[in-house]
Chain A
Amino acid sequence: MKRELHAEWTKLRTVTSTAWLLAAGVALTVAVSAAAAATVSCPSAGCTYDVPKVGLIGVQAGQAIVAILAVLTVTGEYATGMIRTTLAALPRRPAVLAAKATILAGLTLAAGTVAVLGSLLVARLILPGNGFTPAHGQPPLSLADGPTLRAAAGSVLYLALIALLGLGVATIVRDSATAIGVVFGLLYILGILPFMISDPDWQRFLWQISPTNAGLAIQATTHLSGYPLSPWAGLGVLAGWSAAALLTGGLLFRLRDA
């Protein structure tokens, strides 16, 4: 396994797009969070914003870049034929996929931590200027606050799980265009289905099974009873999706010719 990890790390590290994508993911996350923080306002006491959620809204955009990175880790090899070299050198296929997943998850956790901390820091600096002051019942964002810490740590985990989902899908379809289409469909289209329907039972059901809606429940710090799932259960739904995609991908990877 050590050889596989070393090989995957070398491959991912030496492709220029990896660094670019990670930097772009961090920048996009922080920028969108900052834009959201700059546009909310709390003119008087009693505004109902879920402040950590607003400060972390950029994760919804940053996850797109994370998903692309994950997809390219696999489909890039198929596009160039590199996959055959990889498998000739390292014939234990499950170990290859596990190494890919480990390296990718590690990179995403690192970049995700930077992105999430950056978003919260920017929101902490911008929000008081828009009326989110202690006088209006809005203490500054702080990781010392339990729910905020859970939202922040959970968002980092969320990004890592999105990467694993992308990796799984890419291993299944093996083509970057199709894989990106499928991943974006899972993330965004499945995410808006609950809003396209007015039947409340269907709405709850679709919300509970969609990886983004359920997964992002981890960012909720207020009105928790209004959500169909608790924060950690929501993240569990996303973990289920990622596990299913990786397992299916791993099985097909073993069975098919490269």
Chain B
Amino acid sequence: MTTVSHRSTPKTRRQGFARLLHAEWTKFRTVRGWVIGMASAALVTVLLGVFSASGSQSSCGAPGEACPAVPVGPGGEAVDDKFYFVHRSLEGNGAITVRVTSMTGQIRKPDATSGVRNVVPGLEPWAKAGVIIKAGTRLGSTYAALMVTGRHGVRMQHDFTHDTAGRPGGVSRTSPRWLRLIRSGDTLTGYESADGGQWAKVGTAHLAGLPATVQVGLFAASPGDLTVQQADLGGSIAAIRFAQATAVFDRVSLQGKAAGGAWSRDDMGATREPDGEIHHPGGVVQSGGTFTVTGVGDIAPRAEGQTIEKTLSGVVAGLLVVIVVAVVFITAEYRRGLMRTTLLAGPRRGRTLTAKAIVIAAVTFIAGLAATGVMVPLGTHILRSNGNYILPVSSLTELRVAAGMAALFAVFAVFAFALGAVFRRSAAAITVALVVIILPRIIATTSVLPTGASQWLLRLTPAAGFAIQQSIPAYPQVLGDHTPQAGYYPLAPWAGLAVSCGYAALALGLAVFLLRRRDA
């Protein structure tokens, strides 16, 4: 008599799993409602996206008038490069040293009486003035700057997105601040001092491709004043009003082969009125060795414009359908008693459930990718042809947004599927999935809920994963309306996706545990 071994070899185990996958795929593909559901999830995402993009019109001044070109920084991002620049050319290595003795400004506040400009003295937190070395006067060209700011102390910034903090505190006649910026090849180093004797290093910047001859000088700029108001119908309205900064410099000295003669002056990036006048001009007053420089604008990454994820506004509707299909993919088995057959064919319950989860994840990923892969290019095309400016991002970011959202579809499908396996009833599973995935996102982005609460909703709930679609980061050195209502998520893209994945993994683990313990 021979004994039969019931232990399977790794090979047969692999084949067994492939068979399970094949069986589950057959089930999915032969139920017409599920296939139609998945296709309509992709379709509704695209249709709503097209609808939303076609309804977003934008123009500068008269309808159809082209907007002025937006400068692009060395990193490829859209930037603001608007400041008053008092400069000379510098050949090769060298340095600039100045003393800042005062920094003041003006801010336009919301009109108290309508029609009367309400301008008050004051400094924006990120108003900035100091010394700068820039490749040239072309907008968006590479630079490094050492500056005093309105409320964030001394900073060294370069190439629009980089920011290093120095000593905190403002300047006054009694406590001036000395700034020194040294160029050596591609390396720029910033130092600060309270007395011009003891110097402390603030930071170093490496500017790739900095030409031999650069522009060196003084600058002043102030971003506009931001006010955010709750909109009556939910969401918020952000408004930016004029602000300017004025700084007084003395003891200006240049080392190296700097051009002699008078200083050049440029109102960099200034916008002009139709009559050719500069709108809110900056300026400089020179008396002896003292320079009083006034500037309007900012040298920073730009946040004004449409983002590529704006084209994906239909995903919420698509996800609703995906959740229903994913839940029914398992609850229908319980309702029809098919689950007993399924477990008879694949008695290792954990593996059988995993095979089902893999199939639903793969199907939703492909449906999601079809939708986002069409929508990102198509939507940006529609938005552009309606006169909207789209903030440029790298193709890697574009890929992350499109593929990441498709992955989020799959993660939410697995989560909903696992809930279906836990509850074994479609009503309960769909409700829980919708309440924890879609509801937080809707309440956080369109309701009258205050910003703090919205941000916590998008940190703690599975809806955190929507962060994967944010293409433009919220830079801390730019004061903006960085709220969920404005499209800024509280978590970094991959961190948000990880939160959603964690929830899906937990739910799937619970589903496997319960499936092993309970009778089917």
Show the binding face of A for B, using Cβ within 8 Å.
35-36, 39-41, 48-50, 53-54, 57, 60-61, 64-65, 68, 71-72, 75, 79, 176-178, 180-181, 184-185, 188-189, 191-199, 202, 207, 213, 220, 223, 226-227
Q: How far apart are B400's CB and chain A's nearest CB, in angstroms? A: 22
A202 to B56, CA, bound (A): 10
CB distance from A65 to the nearest CB of B (A): 8
With A195-B235, A199-B56, A202-B55: A57-B448 Cβ-Cβ less than 8 Å: yes
Instruction: Tell me whether B305 is interfacial, beta carbon within 8 Å.
Output: no
**Which B residues contact A (CB, under 8 angstroms)?**
48, 51-52, 55-58, 229-230, 232-235, 313-314, 316-317, 320-321, 323-324, 327-328, 331, 335, 425-427, 430-431, 434-435, 438-439, 442-443, 445-450, 452-453
Say whether chain B's binding surface is mostly helix, strand, loop, or mixed: helix
A176–B438 Cα distance when bound, in Å, is 18
A40 to B454, CA, bound (A): 11
| A64-B435, A184-B434, A197-B55 as given contacts; A53 in contact with B448, CB under 8 Å | yes
Q: Which residues of B contact A192 (CB under 8 A)?
A: 316, 442, 445-446
Q: What would be 5 A-B contacts, judged by CB atoms less than 8 Å apart?
A: A61-B435, A185-B320, A196-B48, A196-B55, A227-B233
Which among A36, A48, A180, A226 is the interface contact of B449 at CB below 8 angstroms? A36
Residues of B within 8 A of A35 (CB): 453
Task: Kindly state the separation between the CA atoms of A108 and B427 in the bound complex, as whole angstroms.
Answer: 19
Closest CB in chain A relative to B466 CB, distance in Å: 13
Bound-complex Cα distance A68 to B445 (A): 24
Q: State A220–B323 Cα separation when bound (angstroms).
A: 33
Pick the residue among B48, B233, B314, B323 that contacts A207 (CB under 8 A). B233
A184 touches B438 (CB 8 A): yes
Residues of B within 8 A of A75 (CB): 427
CB distance from A34 to the nearest CB of B (A): 11
Cβ 8 A contact of B55, one of A191, A199, A226, A227: A199
Q: Is the CB of B443 within 8 A of A72?
A: no
Contact A72 to B427, CB < 8 A, known contacts A39-B452, A197-B56: yes
Residues of B contacting A57 in the complex (Cβ-Cβ under 8 angstroms): 447-449
Contact between A197 and B438 (Cβ–Cβ < 8 Å)?
A: no
- Chain A, Cβ-Cβ closest to B48: A196
Pick from A181, A184, A197, A226: contact of B232, CB under 8 Å: A226
Provide the residues of chain A in CB contact with B327, threshold 8 Å: 177
Shortest C-beta distance, B519 to chain A (Å), equals 19
B43–chain A nearest beta-carbon distance, Å: 14
Most chain A beta-carbon contacts within 10 A, residue among B56, B327, B435, B447: B447
Query: Given A181-B320, A184-B320, A192-B442, A50–B328 Cβ distance below 8 Å?
Result: no
Q: Is the CB of A194 within 8 A of B439?
A: no
Residues of A within 8 A of B323 (CB): 181
Chain A residues lying within 8 Å of B446, measured Cβ to Cβ, are 191-192, 195
A48-B230, A178-B324, A181-B430 in contact; A189/B55 too (CB < 8 A)? Answer: no
Is the pair A198, B427 in contact by a Cβ cutoff of 8 Å? no
Across-interface contacts of A191 in B (CB, < 8 A): 442, 446
Contact A180 B331 (CB under 8 A): no
8 further A-B pairs in the complex, CB-CB below 8 A; given A65-B431, A181-B321, A198-B56: A39-B450, A40-B450, A72-B427, A177-B426, A180-B431, A185-B320, A198-B58, A199-B57
**Interface core residue of A48, A65, A184 (most chain B CB under 10 Å):** A184
Whether A197 contacts B52 in the complex (CB less than 8 A), given A61-B439, A176-B427, A189-B320, comes out as yes
Do residues B435 and A60 form an inter-chain contact, with CB atoms below 8 A?
no
* Contact status of A60 and B443, CB under 8 A, knowing A54-B448, A195-B234: yes
A39 to B323, CA, bound (A): 30
Give every chain B residue within 8 A of A54 (Cβ-Cβ): 448
Contact of B434 among A50, A64, A196, A227 (CB under 8 A): A64
Q: Out of B233, B234, B313, B439, name the residue touching A196 (CB < 8 Å).
A: B313
Q: Judging by beta carbons under 8 Å apart, are B55 and A36 in contact?
A: no
Choose among A50, A180, A196, A220 the residue that contacts B324 (Cβ–Cβ < 8 A).
A180
Task: Report the separation of the CA atoms of residues A223 and B231 in the bound assembly, to the nearest whole angstrom.
Answer: 10
Q: How far is the CA of A53 from the CA of B51 in the complex (A)?
A: 30
Instruction: Return the contact of B427 from the options A49, A68, A202, A207 (Cβ within 8 A).
Output: A68
The residues of A that contact B453 with a CB separation of less than 8 Å are 35-36, 39
A226: nearest residue on chain B (CB-CB)? B232
Q: How far is the CB of A9 from chain B (nearest CB, A)?
A: 21
C-alpha spacing A72/B428, complex, angstroms: 10
* CB atoms of B233 and A194 under 8 A apart: yes
Within 8 Å CB of A64, what residues of B?
Answer: 431, 434-435, 439
Chain A: CB-nearest residue to B446: A195
**Chain B residues with CB under 8 A of A195:** 234-235, 445-446
CA distance A185 to B434 in the complex (A): 10
Chain A's closest residue to B230 (CB) is A48
Residues of A contacting B447 in the complex (Cβ-Cβ under 8 angstroms): 57, 60
Are A71 and B321 closer than 8 Å at their CB atoms? Answer: no
- Bound-state CA distance A54–B445 (Å) is 15
Enumerate chain B residues within 8 angstroms of A36, measured Cβ to Cβ. 449-450, 453
Decide: A176 near B426, CB < 8 A? Known: A39-B452, A50-B448, A184-B320: yes
Q: How many angstroms from the CA of A188 to the CA of B441 in the assembled complex?
A: 11
CB distance from A228 to the nearest CB of B (A): 8
Determine the chain A residues whose CB is within 8 A of the CB of B314 once the complex forms: 196
How many Å from the CB of B307 to the closest CB on chain A? 13
Chain B residue contacts of A48, Cβ below 8 A: 229-230
Distance to closest chain B CB from A214 (angstroms)? 11
A41 to B426, CA, bound (A): 40
